[in-house]
Amino acid sequence: MESKFGSLTLPELRAELKKRGARTVGRKNELVERLISYERNQNFGKIETLEPEYHMKLPDATTYSDVNSDSKFPKTDLGKVQSYLAPLDKNLDEHVQRLYNEQFLRYCRMSRRETCVFIKSSCHAEMKKGVSYTVDIELGLDGSITEAQCECAAGMGPQAHCKQYC
């Protein structure tokens, strides 16, 4: 491979490698290849900047209580759930019902606020029952889903759409 490094002398190649913090021993063709690799890979030091993960703002864990037949819960219907999932090209199907029937849901707790209700639950992963994910859902008082998140990869909020959530 022809490059701008091929015409450099051994001391110049070593000086260039030293600037990059690279190994400086070897034959000339090895030093040239090493410099080409360093240039191609931005000196192997370019740090990828990752955006921070999304996390819902949740109430304190002590404010949650178990959901039971006496719980005051916003009326949520299938239409509101489907309107939340529609922009994500997701829908409810028999698969979701099967996860519920086969007891993948471990618990369900809620925390009531003035403007919304938070639901926290834990659900077993479908493929490995030993793994479970925490699911958080925020409902408006009208029963509409405001946002949701799950610990799994597909469940990152604010518009979670994984199997555990759906």
- For 29-82, what is each residue's pLDDT tens digit? 899 999 898 888 876 665 556 566 777 899 999 999 998 888 888 888 888 888
- For 143-153, what is each residue's pLDDT tens digit? 998 888 888 76
List the one residue out of 121, 93, 89, 117 whose CA is nearest residue 107: 121
Q: What is the pLDDT of residue 151?
A: 81
Q: Given pLDDT bands bounded at 50, 70 and 90, which one contains residue 1? A: very low
Backbone angles phi, psi at 51, to 5 degrees: -75, 150
Length of the chain as a residue count: 166
User: Tokens in use for 89?
Assistant: 């090209």
Neighbours of 134 (CB within 10 A): 16
Bridge pairing between strands 132-140 and 105-112: unpaired
